[in-house]
Amino acid sequence: MVIKQDEPCFTIGVVHQMLGLHPQTLRHYERLGLVRPHRSDGKIRMYSAKDLERIALIKRWIDELGVNLAGVEVMLKMQESMEQMRDEMEREMDSMREHYEGELQRLKDALMRVTRDRR
């Protein structure tokens, strides 16, 4: 069974055990908007694997780089912005590739017609 990256399946207690962060710290991150866990029907916080990666990144920035929470917020926004720009660039590159492949095929066809007509 494969769990999707964005499927909420970890409770706050499990995240606490996996990452070594106190549940109050996780709630604080949520209040600050650094992480947005899903809520079950019973209003229980449920974290996805993607959420865990984000929390681990926050923890690493704080523990290893000494970044404060305001800095973490700025860095997360910059990271999200860069991901959006990368996605936009990939879409643009795909569009350009399709255009140039079509143009290349059109030129190949024209060359074939010219070569065939000269015989």
119 within domain boundaries: no
- 49-71 per-position pLDDT tens digit: 999 999 999 999 999 999 999 99
Task: Please state, rounded to an integer, the average pLDDT across all residues of the chain.
Answer: 94
Q: Are residues 74 and 63 in the same domain?
A: no
Q: Are residues 101 and 60 in the same domain?
A: no
Q: What is the DSSP letter of 41?
A: T
Provide the pLDDT for residue 4. 83
For tokens 């926004």, the residue is 77
Q: Can you give the pTM of this predicted structure?
A: 0.75
Q: Are residues 47 and 76 in the same domain?
A: no
1 within domain boundaries: yes
Q: What is the DSSP letter of 39?
A: E
| Region 105-112 average pLDDT | 93
Q: Are residues 15 and 48 in the same domain?
A: yes
Q: 3 with 47: CB under 8 angstroms?
A: no
- 15-55 per-position pLDDT tens digit: 999 999 999 999 999 999 999 999 988 889 999 999 999 99
| Region 78-95 average pLDDT | 97
Half-sphere exposure of 19 (CA within 13 A, CB side): 25
